């Protein structure tokens, strides 16, 4: 009887504390839910603004706007093909350069680098990631562009002038402006993101897995390709997608070196433009039709980014499926 009374008294004493904990838990749950709803609200607001601003362009040009290379503000003729083409090509060039180099840097830092060099190199990578994009653009304009102009004109164009397809991609004359220069600048900009994220993901691999692989006679190459990369593929892909997102939407650095020309050319050495560069260079004086056109370009950039993320998710699902089978 005494034990029952003692239990009832303890329960009565704990009841206020339990109610207080439950109330705090409910408040915390609602705060986090409101934060999630706020993100959806902001995203919905952005989509609504872009769609609403794009309606006049769709009404006048229709779907032909996306395949037209016209850009004549005087006559009111606009097309998005050159900007879309430039955005995709510069991003592809950047990824082709940055992904193998960034992953290679991460592998070196986690598996091969001497301990006394890991910290300085890691700090250097983080500093590169923190440099403002306009600084990259100024460096590309004043330093990289003249160097590339000389290299392209004297070596690159003559080297490919007799090779089909390549003589179109690297047709001169070279001015230093163009998609190749912009792609190289983007590669330098996104390289720290890929290297830093990939390095951090590689460091989460349990040491026992690598030690077991070394114990059965695996080389460093085999440990990286058979243990480290498969274990951390989700994080590596996430870092690559983060870098691709910045490459697709980068503005100022690209505007400095891409040439800002709406004339289509298949050559990587000729001036071109991207969606973000077009918006940045034209938005200050835009009104009426041109303003609606820039909203449509922004909507296209949003759609392209969404498609890229969707493809990344599908790739990840396929990778997990193969790993499970």
- Looking at residue 164, the DSSP 8-state letter turns out to be T
- The pLDDT value recorded for residue 232 is 85
Point out the domain boundary residue: 40, 63, 86: 63
Same domain, 40 and 126: no
CA triple 248-100-225, angle to 5 deg = 130
Domain boundary among 44, 63, 82: 63
Q: Is the distance from CB of 140 to CB of 252 less than 8 angstroms?
A: no
Give the per-residue pLDDT at 322.
64
Q: Phi then psi for 97, rounded to 5 degrees?
A: -85, -45
What distance in Å separates the CA atoms of residue 273 and residue 250, rounded to the nearest whole number?
12
The pLDDT of residue 131: 87
The angle subtended at Cα 167 by Cα 165 and Cα 172, nearest 5°, is 145
For residues 265 and 116, state if they share a domain.
yes
Distance between CA atoms of residues 218 and 300, nearest Å: 48
Q: How far apart are CA 106 and CA 200, in angstroms?
A: 8
Instruction: Count the alpha carbons within 13 Å of 120 in the hemisphere toward its beta carbon.
Output: 5
Q: What is the reported pLDDT for 8? A: 54
129 with 277, same domain: the answer is yes
CA distance 44 to 303: 14
What pLDDT does 104 receive?
Answer: 92
User: Are the C-beta atoms of 253 and 112 separated by less than 8 Å?
Assistant: no
- Tell me: do 135 and 232 sit in the same domain: yes
Residues 147, 105 share a domain: yes
pLDDT tens digits in sequence order for the chain, 325 residues long:
555 555 556 556 566 766 777 777 888 899 999 999 999 999 999 999 999 989 999 888 888 888 888 888 888 888 889 999 999 999 999 999 999 999 999 999 988 888 888 888 888 888 888 888 889 999 999 999 999 999 988 888 888 888 888 888 898 788 889 999 999 999 999 999 899 889 988 988 888 988 888 888 888 888 888 888 888 888 888 888 888 888 888 888 899 999 888 888 889 999 999 999 988 888 777 777 888 899 999 999 999 888 888 887 787 777 667 665 5
Q: Is 179 exposed, middle or buried, given 0-12, 13-18 or 19+ CB atoms closer than 10 A?
A: buried
Identify whether residues 33 and 94 lie together within a single domain: no
Residues 6+ apart with CB under 8 A from 122: 109, 196, 199
CA distance 205 to 25: 34
pLDDT in the model for residue 219: 86
Question: Is the same domain home to 292 and 186?
Answer: yes
Residues 6+ apart with CB under 8 A from 130: none
**Sign, CA torsion 137/142/147/152:** positive
For residues 171 and 158, what is the distance between their CA atoms, to the nearest angstrom? Answer: 9
Q: Within this chain, do residues 218 and 319 fall inside the same structural domain, yes or no?
A: yes
For residue 91, the model assigns a pLDDT of: 93
Structural domain containing residue 82: 67-324
pTM listed for this prediction: 0.86
Count of domains observed in the chain: 2
- d(CA 186, CA 98) in angstroms, rounded, equals 9
């Amino acid at each position: 009887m005494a034990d029952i009374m003692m239990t009832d008294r303890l329960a009565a004493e704990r009841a206020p504390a339990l109610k207080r904990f439950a109330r705090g838990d409910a408040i915390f749950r609602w705060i986090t839910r409101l934060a999630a709803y706020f993100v959806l609200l902001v995203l919905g607001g952005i989509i609504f603004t872009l769609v609403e601003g794009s309606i006049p362009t769709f009404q006048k040009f229709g779907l032909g706007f996306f395949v037209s290379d016209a850009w004549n503000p005087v006559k009111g003729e606009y097309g998005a093909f050159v900007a879309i083409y430039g955005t995709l090509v510069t991003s592809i060039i950047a990824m082709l350069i940055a992904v193998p180099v960034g992953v290679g840097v991460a592998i070196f830092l986690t598996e091969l680098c001497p301990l006394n060099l890991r910290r300085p190199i890691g700090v250097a990578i983080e500093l590169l990631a923190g440099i403002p994009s306009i600084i990259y653009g100024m460096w590309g304009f004043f330093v990289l562009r003249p160097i590339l102009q000389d290299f392209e004109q004297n070596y690159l164009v003559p080297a490919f002038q007799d090779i089909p397809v390549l003589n179109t991609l690297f047709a001169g004359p070279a001015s230093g402006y163009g998609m190749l220069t912009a792609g190289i600048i983007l590669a330098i900009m996104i390289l720290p993101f890929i290297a830093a994220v990939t390095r951090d993901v590689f460091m989460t691999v349990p040491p026992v897995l690598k030690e077991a692989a070394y114990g059965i006679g695996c080389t460093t190459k085999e440990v990286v390709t058979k243990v480290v990369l498969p274990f951390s593929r989700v994080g590596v892909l996430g870092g690559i997608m983060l870098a691709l997102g910045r490459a697709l939407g980068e503005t100022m650095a690209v505007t400095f070196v891409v040439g800002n020309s709406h004339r289509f050319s298949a050559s990587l050495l000729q001036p071109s433009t991207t969606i973000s560069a077009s918006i940045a260079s034209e938005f200050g004086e835009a009104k009426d039709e041109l303003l609606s056109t820039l909203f449509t370009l922004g909507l296209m950039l949003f759609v392209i980014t969404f498609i890229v993320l969707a493809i990344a998710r599908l790739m990840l699902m396929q990778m997990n499926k193969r790993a499970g089978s």
